[in-house]
Amino acid sequence: MTRKTGRKWMTDSCGRCGEAHRGYSGKLDAGGVEYVVCGVTHKRMNVTPREARDAMFATAWVEDDGGDDP
């Protein structure tokens, strides 16, 4: 079961599709790892800092404060 965290995330370059993403809702999996789902590939991307270090799809996710920067 997943549940939303209430946090929004953004990245300048998604490790799965290469595009910038903004305003992605964080979700928690059963193990407590926060993730978002890439809007292009529809694949999960972990955003929890210690879990986000996947060498194959490395992506620097930052919390989205709603400003103008992508």
Question: pLDDT band for position 55 (50/70/90)?
Answer: low
Question: Looking at the predicted structure, is the pLDDT value of residue 51 above 60?
Answer: no
Please count the CA atoms within 13 angstroms of the CA of 1 that sit on its side-chain side. 1
| Separation between Cα atoms, residue 38 and residue 68, nearest integer Å | 20
pLDDT in tens, 8-44: 999 999 988 999 999 999 999 988 889 999 999 999 9
Q: HSE-up of 44 (CA within 13 Å, CB side)?
A: 12
pLDDT at position 49 over 80 = no
Does the pLDDT value for residue 69 go beyond 70? Answer: no
User: How far separated are the first and last CA of the chain, in Å rounded?
Assistant: 30
Reduce the DSSP state of residue 55 to 3 states and report it: helix
